[in-house]
Amino acid sequence: MQKTILITGGAGFIGSHVVRLFVNKYPNYKIVNLDKLTYAGNLENLTDVANAPNYEFVKGDIIDVEFINSLFEKYKFDGVLHLAAESHVDRSISDPGAFINTNILGTVNLLNAARAIWQDNLGDKRFYHISTDEVYGSLGSEGFFTEETAYDPRSPYSASKASSDHLVRAYMHTYKLPVVLTNCSNNYGANQFPEKLIPLAINNIKNNKAIPIYGKGENIRDWLFVNDHANAIDLVFHKGKNGETYNIGGNNEWTNIDLIHKLCEIMDSKLGRKQGESAKLITFVKDRAGHDMRYAIDSSKIQKELGWKPSLQFEEGLEKTVDWYLENENWINNITSGKYAEYYDNQYNKR
């Protein structure tokens, strides 16, 4: 069936993988990618689909109400996959304002615009809000986040995402907007901006720079390969039930320090270095303020109800990721040559 689908934040890390998947898999959908192209948005992520007949890029800001309303009026979207967000916890600690604006107000603008064009015909429409496991707060050494876990966000980033999740559900209850939500664990893979742990470490190891580990490196994250997340998003968009939330995770918990040691091993062998060489770059630095101890997702609901499961073992995914970064030097050089240097200096050299 012919459909026009809006993907917000499609020039970012996860969004670009979702755009590529949808453009290639659904030639009968017209995919409109709306992105502000902040520091995190990069059209180089999408050069392979840029000229596809069913793809269109629109540059714009989800905070701009009039622009958003006119975009929905023009395209009469059948579905929305909302990924646009400010996404980095450290940036939310140093400057929360942009997180409140984009993640909360921007989401409300999209909800209002969808409601306005869909109000007479909600039947086959869908507003899909992509969120994070960080809304659930921090775990001790036991237990998992389920869809029933009470929200307990602890960073400006996770609080802004939690707020947007609540608003999406409120629009369902109040206005019957057909929504679906997912809360996913930490993603890794190609095209991730090198402010996040894995690409930052790969880039530093390659350049023989210190690898900054916050605190003692004991914090635990549950890592999922980005293409497995994109496949889950495809499944939920098409098969998920209205009003439902699905947790997505890799069942793959690593302390930061163990993960970095594994990455150093892989990098040593890829770069032809002696084993143990890259690990010498590990440097413990001041901890992140309010650093959540552990995230771990129980993804049994999406596995049982929709038949999703991660396709890759972590070691295999990490190796693919390292290969991508080593093979795409231009991508990383274009990013790290500009404003990134300033960010890096503020975040790591002036702490």
Residue numbers of the site for ligand TYD (CB under 6 A)? 89, 186, 196-197, 200, 212-214, 219, 221, 256, 288
Does position 161 bind ligand NAD by CB under 6 A? Answer: yes
Catalytic annotation, pick one of 29, 55, 157, 343 = 157
What is the rounded distance in angstroms from the CA atom of residue 196 to the CA atom of residue 40?
A: 11
- Dump the DSSP string for 236-280: HHHHPPTT-EEEE--S-EEEHHHHHHHHHHHHHHHHTPPTTTGGG
Which of 226, 242, 130 lies closest to 177 in space, CA to CA? 242
The site partner of 15 among ligand NAD, ligand TYD, none (C-beta below 5 to 8 Å per kind) is ligand NAD
Choose one: 129-137, 273-281, 286-294, 340-348; the region binding ligand NAD (CB under 6 A).
Answer: 129-137
- Determine whether 228 is an active site residue: no
Does position 92 bind ligand NAD by CB under 6 A? Answer: no
The site partner of 212 among ligand NAD, ligand TYD, none (C-beta below 5 to 8 Å per kind) is ligand TYD
Provide the minimum distance between the beta carbon of 198 and ligand TYD in the complex, in angstroms, as a whole number: 7
Kindly report each contact of residues 276-284 with a partner whose C-beta sits within 8 Å and lies 24 or more positions away, as own/partner. 278/205, 281/204, 281/205, 281/208, 281/209, 281/210, 281/211, 282/210, 282/211, 282/213, 282/257, 283/210, 283/211, 283/212, 283/213, 284/213, 284/215, 284/216, 284/217
User: Which two tokens mark 186?
Assistant: 């930490």
Residue with tokens 């596809």: 52
What is the rounded distance in angstroms from the CA atom of residue 296 to the CA atom of residue 249?
A: 8
Provide the minimum distance between the beta carbon of 199 and ligand TYD in the complex, in angstroms, as a whole number: 9
If the CB atoms of residues 45 and 256 are measured against ligand TYD, the closer one turns out to be: 256
- Determine whether 134 is an active site residue: yes
Does position 222 bind ligand NAD by CB under 6 A? Answer: no
Provide the minimum distance between the beta carbon of 143 and ligand TYD in the complex, in angstroms, as a whole number: 18
What is the rounded distance in angstroms from the CA atom of residue 129 to the CA atom of residue 125?
A: 13
The site partner of 221 among ligand NAD, ligand TYD, none (C-beta below 5 to 8 Å per kind) is ligand TYD
What is the rounded distance in angstroms from the CA atom of residue 197 to the CA atom of residue 348?
A: 13
Provide the minimum distance between the beta carbon of 256 and ligand TYD in the complex, in angstroms, as a whole number: 5
Task: With beta carbons less than 8 A apart as the criterion, state whether 248 and 229 touch.
Answer: yes
Does position 201 bind ligand NAD by CB under 6 A? Answer: no
Provide the minimum distance between the beta carbon of 186 and ligand TYD in the complex, in angstroms, as a whole number: 5
Coil vs helix vs strand at 221: strand
Among 15, 178, 194, 310, binds ligand NAD (CB under 6 A): 15
Where along the sequence are the contacts to ligand NAD (CB under 6 A)? 8-9, 11-15, 35-38, 40-41, 61-63, 83-87, 102, 106, 130-132, 161, 184, 186-187, 193
Active site residues: 133-134, 157
